[in-house]
Copies of this chain bind each other. A is one copy, B any other.
Amino acid sequence: MNNSKPYVIGIDMGGTNTVFGIVDARGVVLASNSIKTAKHSNINDYIDELHSEALRLIRSIDAEGKIYGIGVGAPNANYFTGMIEDGVNLPWPTPIPFAQMLSEKFGIPVAITNDANAAAIGEMTYGAARGLKDFIMITLGTGVGSGIVINGQLVYGHDGFAGELGHVIVKRNNGRLCGCGRTGCLETYCSATGVARTAREYLELRTDPSLLRDLDIDSITSKDVYDAAMAGDKLAKEVFEYTGTILGEALADFTVFSSPEAFVLFGGLAKSGELLLKPLRNAMDKNMLSVFKGKVKVLLSELKEADAAVLGASALGWEAKPATTTLAATATAATAAPQA
């Protein structure tokens, strides 16, 4: 933090929307807005709109010249290189030197990382992991992501891609096909999508009645399964037991790696409460190496959902360092911009 520059911008780039906000050092989102990620077929047009909309936001709270840095959570974003790498569902050709492009446009240091890492940094800075030096963030959304913190530092690994725990193989034989091209990955079972897949499997393989049989089987979502389970549906409850058990077994395995003080669960599925947590804790305890038994907490994210992604990204903004190419840009775009 810097007294004359008390704010950071957090940007959460998703395939559909890009949400951004101005955040102070205590994690208060002072103002936020969003643009459509896929509106522009040219990345430069996207950055132009992001820049002008962010400037408008900056001016709306009289924050010109007061932005310390920008943090971005984006799919396949590499902290080390500042690149959005290949293999991601965005409307532009990859790799994209996104940190550099954004830094040149704004004249402010930019740091980027993937969304799960951003969530971990946010949770450590503002959420359930405050004060924890060793924890693992598990994001349970469309996929399963993770951000690993060891000794207070996010683990980026040799190439910046560490922490892909959604792609640990939990079923070595006859596992489900994953978007990564392999089979049996954790995220094919324990994501929102995985819950829906399990429900469809159960409905096809079993004959017992279920509220879910009233729905179109191909469009069942994890929310449908949750609603059915909360209404007492046995099959739907068993879907959560299956999901929680596999996740608990995996968390026990992850524990032997870095011996975390806690796992922090984040994302839609984490809000399933005891439906997921009870079988998860049971399986984790049953499969835990004795030296770790009873030591590892399972926490739920404390970040407000609407702010979480922006907060997480913004926390990274405090770490952003000026790139060599932008060192000369002391009069930042935000400062130099004419008043609207």
Interface residues of A (CB under 8 A from B): 85, 87, 133-134, 148, 150-151, 153, 155-165, 167-172, 180-182, 249, 252-254, 256-261, 287, 289-292, 295
Contacts and interface: CB of A to CB of B under 8 A. Distances in A.
A158 B295 CA distance: 9
Closest 5 CB pairs of A and B: A157-B259, A162-B259, A164-B256, A158-B261, A134-B158
Contacts of A249: 169, 172
A180 B256 CA distance: 13
A76 to B, nearest CB: 8
A254 B148 CA distance: 13
Nearest to A246: B172
A85 B289 CA distance: 14
A287 B157 contact: no
Nearest to A159: B259
A159 B295 contact: yes
With most chain B CB atoms within 10 A of its CB, the pick from A133, A168, A260, A287 is A168
A169 B287 contact: yes
A291 B157 contact: no
- Interface of chain A, helix or strand or loop or mixed? loop
Nearest to A185: B289
Copies of this chain per assembly:
2
A289 B167 contact: yes
Contacts of A162: 150, 256-259
Nearest to A250: B169
A161 B292 contact: yes
A179 to B, nearest CB: 11
Given A148-B258, A169-B253, A256-B167, A161 B291 contact: yes
Given A164-B256, A169-B252, 4 more contacts: A151-B153, A157-B259, A160-B259, A257-B258
Given A155-B150, A158-B133, A295-B158, A289 B259 contact: no
Contacts of A150: 150, 155, 157, 162
13 contacts: A133-B158, A134-B158, A155-B258, A157-B259, A157-B260, A159-B292, A163-B258, A163-B259, A167-B256, A168-B256, A172-B249, A181-B290, A182-B287
